[in-house]
Amino acid sequence: MKWNSLAGRALGFLAGTTLGSGIGFLFHWQSYNLVVIVSALGVLGAILGGWTVKMCLRNTSDAS
């Protein structure tokens, strides 16, 4: 699989929403609180995932 920033964003979004859902489950949150935490962590995960792949690709191209 070719890694690019879109794949990083997708995996980051998946990880963020999964983490947000787990946090909401542990705190027994309902409705609005759950939607907010899952959305916020999904967006944060997408940003961090894209950034991580970009940094990894930059480091591998510098090493070559």
**Residue written as token pair 């787990």:** 22
Exposure of 60 in the CB half-sphere (CA atoms within 13 A): 8
Interval 28-42 mean pLDDT = 91
**CA gap 35, 50 in Å, rounded:** 23
Helix (H, G, I), strand (E, B) or coil at 18: helix
* pTM for this entry: 0.80
**CA gap 20, 11 in Å, rounded:** 14
Helix axis angle, 31-63 to 5-26, nearest 10°:
150
Q: When comparing pLDDT for 43 and 60, which is higher?
A: 43
Residue 49 is predicted with a pLDDT of 92
Q: 13-34, pLDDT tens digit by residue?
A: 999 999 999 999 999 988 888 9
